[in-house]
Amino acid sequence: MANLFTLAFLGLVLAMSRFIPTPPEPPKRSVPPTRYERLWDSAEINPAQVFRIDKAIGIYLDNRSRYQAITDMRTGGVPAPIVFVFHGRESTWNFRKHLHEGSWLSGRTKWVPKGRPRRGSPPFSFEESAEDALYLLKDLESKNWTTVDSALNQIERYNGTGYLRYHPEVNSPYLWSGTNHYTRGKYVADGKFSRTAVDGQLGTVAILKRMADRGMETGFH
């Protein structure tokens, strides 16, 4: 009787195993993988930041159509999730501020890059500012946004290459703050680096990684 019960139980386990979804295959990477690929694949979100990140993602979900409209301004436009993370870093998701550097849309930009947009008259809409920042100034529609390596490279370059050029020992917090790949070190002003300063903003990768973990599109793979 016990043997019959055991066989029945094993049969049930075998049948149930057929309904367990097959884990997705890991993305194909360069051989050897690039620096950005290695960092992305090994990135772990700080558990203390998950609630904060999910709250931010809620802003994206509520305003996805606005970000998508900016993507659609150009063929090959910057993917909406990446527009969103730029918006967070530059102006804390405030639609009344410039995407370039966070000054108010009631005038032209006050900081680097200063005096944008050059055409038109203030006050500007968020969409006008975004078009100028991403396409007229940076020409980002001409970039490849489909892979981890190219997307993260362009995100870092949007902020500047100071970490890569002068402080390669520090992974840019613009990307990695909120993950295991960043602890401290930050440009506290243009050209002024502090080894002890800690970036309090969410890094773009922390948000994008969480979006990917939740099954959301990031624009790259």
Q: What are the pLDDT digits (tens) for 35-44?
A: 999 999 999 9
Query: Is position 5 within any domain?
Result: no
Q: How many domains does the chain have?
A: 1
Query: Is position 195 within any domain?
Result: yes
Mean pLDDT of 76-92: 97
Whether the predicted pLDDT of 13 surpasses 70: no
Q: How far is CA 40 from CA 21, 83, 102, 128, 221, in A?
A: 24, 19, 27, 32, 10
Query: Is position 155 within any domain?
Result: yes
Q: What is the pTM of this model?
A: 0.86
Whether the predicted pLDDT of 8 surpasses 80: no
Cβ–Cβ < 8 Å for 90, 204: no
Query: Is position 66 within any domain?
Result: yes
Query: Is position 15 within any domain?
Result: no
**pLDDT 10s digits, 191-208:** 899 999 999 999 999 999
Query: Is position 187 within any domain?
Result: yes
Provide the 10 A C-beta neighbour count for residue 89.
23
Residue 114's domain comprises: 45-213
Determine the pLDDT at residue 31.
73
* Rounded Cα gap, residues 164 and 160, in angstroms: 9
